[in-house]
A and B are shown apart, each in its own frame.
Chain A
Amino acid sequence: MRQTGPYNEKVMDHFRNPRNAGELENPSGIGTAGNPVCGDIMEISIRIEDEVIKDIRFRTFGCGAAIATSSMVTELVKNKTIDEALAVSNRAVAEALGGLPPVKMHCSVLAEEALRSAIDDFRRRQGKP
């Protein structure tokens, strides 16, 4: 695959044409995660119906890998049940992107955490633990 800087073409595709970027109005849950390593921030908003993630959006202040992993995670969990979404690990996101440079693996953690935090928020709003 053609490399642009440190990234493969799939990562660059998600960086260039991110899926589901932005913010949902009246989300069922919204979560953020901060990257303690480099100081970046990711925010995910979700709309849930019958335990299924019907819609999802992300906003990310971070590097190319952070934007690409945000985009990929939204694609992977859209129309999935909450339990299925919770099973998606940061490794799975990185693999779906065809791999990330080792120094950029920490960026994919941000996507996983933001998603979990959005689901936690949804649960909280429902009054469940």
Chain B
Amino acid sequence: MNMKPIYLDHAATTPTAPEVVQAMLPYLEGTYGNASSLHSFGREAKTAVETARGRIASFMNARPEEIVFTSGGTESDNFIIKGIALSRKDRGNHIITSSIEHHAVLETCGFLRKQGFSVSFLPVDSNGLVNPDDVKKAITNKTILITVMHGNNEIGTIEPVAEIGSIAREHGVAFHTDAVQTFGHVPIDVDELKVDCLSASAHKLHGPKGVGLAYIRTGTKITPLLHGGDQEKRRRASTLNVPGIVGFGRAVDLAGTEMHAESSRQSALRDRLMEGLLAEINDTRINGHPIRRLPNNANLSFAFVEGEGLLLSLDMEGIAVSTGSACTSSSLEPSHVLSAIGVPVELAHGSLRFTLGRDTTREDIERVLRVMPGIVHRLRAMSPLARKGAIS
């Protein structure tokens, strides 16, 4: 059978938009200058970088000089969290974060803990929301940084970032948000969100892999992660990734024009998917917030079955998704996010994440809805957990 592959794993990465590839090509071919060089080759590259920087800055209501280009979301998280912690270590050693952050944040905080910092990992409610009151209560006179993500990569919950930002400001604590999942998908205004620092990555919005940004609000002191040359106003040494940055700029342009229409189109398809699955398959639940969630994210648990089996079965149909099952994680532990929202281990096992994108069509969703009941039914028929009569 020759079916059109259906890619529903856009939270992992997105296809690079053809417009982005076109924009990058000249900088991979003829225009190869080093943006730091003074000659014409360098100036041409520098102009391209600064144009992209300006567009990206205005997209998020920031100033161009507040944008530091990095190699991606993980580097931005590392740079900001370690950089703020180091620059403020004379003022305190306490960091507040949530228990559902991306590993790039959790592991960085864990590393700092080993270096003598103390870290509070705040719980979340059953929808995955951090309670701003908990943030307030956790603040001590040693607190130097709060880092809470904007949109969760697994369950899609959108955190009350602006409320947390107000609290951070009242207490004079630096505030960072990992916006890797939201950037280019929901409007971002760094003033409205009241953030001092923000991380984003190009490949989540149809840009190239290997490029991201750290937003650092003017006046925020930060220690660099990479030392060397004077690039990025000495905040990040390393020759600039000119093609990547140009591609990032183009991806942000596209997001700027398409974001509103796409988010309502995708959220309608997503709702159709979630409602269809709930209606067609018994013993199914939605993970994450019913309303405050990323427009393209659906995360569901199918009781009595295991996610890797679901994933492989969908893959055989040409449908690509991801799962929070313990069986697919290298640690063989279930997703920390699903555990934090109180999903029982067996249900975390049977979780699937579908993340839509600009290439997702109505027909794609209908095909998923046609094949899923059979797949779940087949695996349930093999499962010792399936109660007789509970099988749809």
Give chain A nearest CB distance to B388 CB in angstroms: 10
Give chain A nearest CB distance to B194 CB in angstroms: 41
Query: Given A18-B382, A32-B384, A62-B306, are A39 and B349 neighbors across the interface (CB < 8 Å)?
Result: yes
How many pairs, one residue from A and one from B, have CB atoms within 8 Å of each other in the complex? 69
Interface centre among A22, A32, A39, A58 (most CB of B within 10 A): A39
Q: How far is the CA of A66 from the CA of B305 in the complex (A)?
A: 12
Give chain B nearest CB distance to A42 CB in angstroms: 7
Residue numbers in A under 8 Å from B238 (CB-CB): none
Are A39 and B326 neighbours in the complex by a CB distance under 8 Å? yes
Residue numbers in A under 8 Å from B346 (CB-CB): 39, 61
Task: Kindly state whether residue A99 has any CB partner on chain B within 8 Å.
Answer: no
Interface centre among B309, B328, B334 (most CB of A within 10 A): B309
Query: Given A4-B315, A39-B345, A63-B309, are A21 and B327 neighbors across the interface (CB < 8 Å)?
Result: no
Are B384 and A64 neighbours in the complex by a CB distance under 8 Å? no
Q: CB < 8 Å: which of B304, B308, B316, B383 contacts A16?
A: B316
Query: Given A61-B304, A62-B306, A63-B308, are A38 and B332 neighbors across the interface (CB < 8 Å)?
Result: yes
Residue numbers in A under 8 Å from B327 (CB-CB): 38, 40, 62-63, 66, 107
Give chain B nearest CB distance to A59 CB in angstroms: 4
Q: CB < 8 Å: which of A38, A39, A67 contacts B382?
A: A67
Give chain B nearest CB distance to A99 CB in angstroms: 17
Task: Kindly state whether residue A15 has any CB partner on chain B within 8 Å.
Answer: yes
Which 4 A-B residue pairings sit nearest by Cβ, starting from the closest?
A63-B327, A63-B308, A43-B384, A59-B384
Q: Which of A1-49 contact B (CB under 8 A)?
A: 4-5, 7, 12, 15-16, 18, 21-22, 32, 37-43
Give chain A nearest CB distance to B9 CB in angstroms: 13
Given A16-B316, A39-B345, A41-B384: 6 more A-B contacts, CB < 8 Å: A15-B309, A39-B346, A61-B383, A61-B384, A62-B327, A63-B325
Q: CB < 8 Å: which of A22, A38, A41 contacts B385?
A: A41
In this complex, how many residues of chain B approach chain A with their Cβ under 8 Å: the count is 25
Q: List 25 A-B contacts (CB under 8 A).
A: A4-B312, A4-B315, A5-B311, A5-B312, A12-B312, A15-B312, A16-B316, A21-B381, A22-B381, A22-B382, A38-B326, A39-B326, A39-B346, A40-B349, A41-B384, A59-B384, A60-B383, A61-B304, A61-B306, A62-B306, A62-B309, A62-B327, A63-B306, A63-B328, A107-B327
Task: Kindly state whether residue B115 has any CB partner on chain A within 8 Å.
Answer: no
Are B309 and A103 neighbours in the complex by a CB distance under 8 Å? no
Q: How far is the CA of A5 from the CA of B334 in the complex (A)?
A: 19
Residue numbers in B under 8 Å from A59 (CB-CB): 382-384
Chain A residue with Cβ nearest B383: A61
Mark B residues whose CB is within 8 Å of A: 304-306, 308-309, 311-312, 315-316, 325-328, 330, 332-334, 345-346, 349, 381-385
Are A60 and B384 neighbours in the complex by a CB distance under 8 Å? yes
**Interface residue tally on A, bucketed by range:** 20 to 34
Give chain B nearest CB distance to A118 CB in angstroms: 13
Are A103 and B330 neighbours in the complex by a CB distance under 8 Å? yes
Residue numbers in A under 8 Å from B349 (CB-CB): 39-40, 61
Q: How far is the CA of A84 from the CA of B57 in the complex (A)?
A: 71
Interface centre among A12, A32, A64, A66 (most CB of B within 10 A): A64
Are B332 and A37 neighbours in the complex by a CB distance under 8 Å? yes
Q: How far is the CA of A5 from the CA of B188 in the complex (A)?
A: 36
Q: Which of A42-76 contact B (CB under 8 A)?
A: 42-43, 58-64, 66-67
Q: CB < 8 Å: which of B312, B334, B385 contacts A61?
A: B385
Residue numbers in A under 8 Å from B383 (CB-CB): 59-61
Q: How far is the CA of A12 from the CA of B384 in the complex (A)?
A: 21
Give chain B nearest CB distance to A26 CB in angstroms: 16
Give chain B nearest CB distance to A69 CB in angstroms: 13
Chain B residue with Cβ nearest A16: B316
Residue numbers in B under 8 Å from A16 (CB-CB): 316
Q: How far is the CA of A58 from the CA of B328 in the complex (A)?
A: 22
